[in-house]
Amino acid sequence: MHNRLIILTDAYRESEGKEKKGMVKIYKNSKEVRDKVQDYLYEEGFTDQREFCSGPSDGLAIGGRWSGVLTEYLFNPILWKACHDKLWEEKEKTGVNRWKSNVTLKQKAYARKMFNDFFPKYKGLLPFHRDSLCYFGEEDDAMIVTKLLWTRFIKKLVRDSEGDFYQDPIIYLQGSVIDECKEEDVVNKMYAVVVDYHN
């Protein structure tokens, strides 16, 4: 079964040594964050499958089946629901499917046109028609948590967390208890990274 996990990780750290005083970016870009999270999960045994003990997963991908989910939460929710419903209503023409696979260029073009009817100013990668087997994810599978992303998505995950790495929908990479995180600790200070894991 595939599960979604959101990892929060600090975006900044205190300056050290000869660096200018204040906060310093930890990562240059989304790719560095995604690589770090993936390395961390492997190093900490998240995917270990040993004889007498194992991690909660037997495999993972950054983004995976949930690639684009962070972007979805940035859209107007009413428009996004209408767009999503329309894409699925015409799935033969749009190629939208659960596995995000076997989509023709004609279907992608039709889906892009339909999507643009709802969101004409959006020029980024569509939050659907992603390669669910791309293990390193897309640029928007790791992003700084904005107030909008916090309010519409992350806040609920934090509220639902109980400090159990095997069950929680969200983990804080630096090890703090996630259910104690508050908006001022997260917004514009942390990255959210989407992980698809199988168990």
25-82: per-residue pLDDT in tens? 899 999 999 999 999 888 888 777 666 667 777 888 899 989 999 999 999 999 999 9
Q: What is the pLDDT of residue 52?
A: 63
- In terms of phi and psi (left: phi > 0; alpha: psi -120 to 50; beta: otherwise), the region of 103 is beta
1-23: per-residue pLDDT in tens? 888 889 999 898 887 877 778 88
DSSP per-residue codes, the chain: -EEEEEEEEESEEE--TTSPSSEEES-SSHHHHHHHHHHHHHHTTTT-B-SS-B-S-SEEEESGGGTTHHHHTTS-HHHHHHHHHHHHHTHHHH---TT--S--HHHHHHHHHHHHHH-TT--S--SSS--TT-TT--GGGEEE--HHHIIIIIHHHHHH--S-TTT-SEEETT---GGG--HHHHTTTEEEEEEEEE-
**Mean local confidence (pLDDT), 186-195:** 93
127-166: per-residue pLDDT in tens? 988 887 788 999 999 999 999 999 999 988 887 776 665 5
pLDDT at 116 over 90: yes
pLDDT at 176 over 60: no
Domain ranges of the chain: 2-66+134-198, 76-118
**Mean local confidence (pLDDT), 164-171:** 66
